Amino acid sequence: MSAASRSKAGAHENAGRLTPGAHLRAEIERLGLDQVAVSKATGVSRQSVNNIVNGRQAISRAMAGKLGRLTGRSSDYWLSAFFAGTGEAQAQAREAFYGGVLVNHQIVRAVKNGVIYIAPFDATHVRSAAIDLTLGKELTLAPGATVTARTRERVELPLDYLGRIGISAQLAGDGILASHAFQLEPGFKDEIDICLFNAGKRSLRLRAGQPFVSLEIFHLGATPDP
């Protein structure tokens, strides 16, 4: 394929999609901010913000992290080369993640596109409508004992997503009960601590890296007010 043909094909492929600068401009408007407010919130000069918005400067990894904290999206999300724009591309993006519980292919796509951050991410742990999270370190649960376990994975949710945690079916069958806050709030960023109680009659040894809880991910119909 000639250079001219590749250029034409690339232009066609990216039609209806926004550059990072144009997308940042749209996000600034959505959040009711201006470039001065973004400059103060991120600690970079207003000129740098203006250069990014107008396509004269790329979004660095450091800036991506700052924009992630400002907008509630992961840093990797802001390193994308293009974003859904107007028309059909935007409609497909909304349809991909709008409303309700994310199913398997939506979870994979949301992580791949940087909308949701889960690391380390193992696609084999994705279930029909959830993803299994693994144990950070080995522990032993004696009958009647309670321990606090932490996931190996770090999870970062945008401001229009929330998560809910439940014990795996296998451990539930062994008499293990899990206690956790009602939900992972929108904007949650951390590993997840879960209180485990052994209601069974035998001691259980759980190994590091073993799937032990499942995470359901919900896309909200709107971003909550601060």
Tell me, yes or no, whether 225 lies in a domain. Answer: no
Q: 144 and 71, same structural domain? A: no
How far is 156 from 64, CA to CA, in rounded Å?
14
Tell me, yes or no, whether 224 lies in a domain. Answer: no
Closest by Cα among 219, 50, 211, 31 to 126: 211
Helices 20-30 and 46-53: angle between axes, nearest 10 degrees: 120
At 78 the three-state DSSP class reads helix
Whose tokens are 């979870």? That residue is 107
Question: Can you spell out the DSSP letters for 14-66?
Answer: TTTEE-HHHHHHHHHHHTT--HHHHHHHHTS-HHHHHHHHTTSS---HHHHHH
Q: 123 and 69, same structural domain? A: no
Q: Give tens-digit pLDDT for 176-222.
A: 999 988 899 999 999 999 999 999 999 999 999 999 999 999 988 77
Tell me, yes or no, whether 226 lies in a domain. Answer: no
Q: Report which of residues 217 and 113 the model is more confident about.
A: 217
Q: 183 and 122, same structural domain? A: yes
Residues paired with 204 in a beta bridge: 141
Q: 184 and 78, same structural domain? A: no
Structural domain for 179, as ranges? 100-219
How crowded is the C-beta side of 85, counted as CA atoms within 13 Å? Answer: 12
pLDDT at 3: 44
Residues whose CB falls within 8 Å of the CB of residue 195, separated by 6 or more in sequence, listed in order = 146, 147, 148, 149, 178, 179, 180
pLDDT at 133: 97
pLDDT at 193: 96
Query: How many domains are contained in the chain?
Result: 2
Q: 125 and 199, same structural domain? A: yes
Q: 140 and 210, same structural domain? A: yes
How far is 150 from 35, CA to CA, in rounded Å?
39
Mean confidence (pLDDT) of the chain? 83
Q: 107 and 85, same structural domain? A: no
Whose tokens are 């806050």? That residue is 181
Q: Give tens-digit pLDDT for 37-48.
A: 999 989 999 999
Using DSSP bridges, classify how beta strands 211-219 and 100-101 pair: parallel, antiparallel or unpaired. Answer: antiparallel
Q: 133 and 87, same structural domain? A: no
Q: What is the CATH number of the domain that holds 186?
A: 2.70.40.10
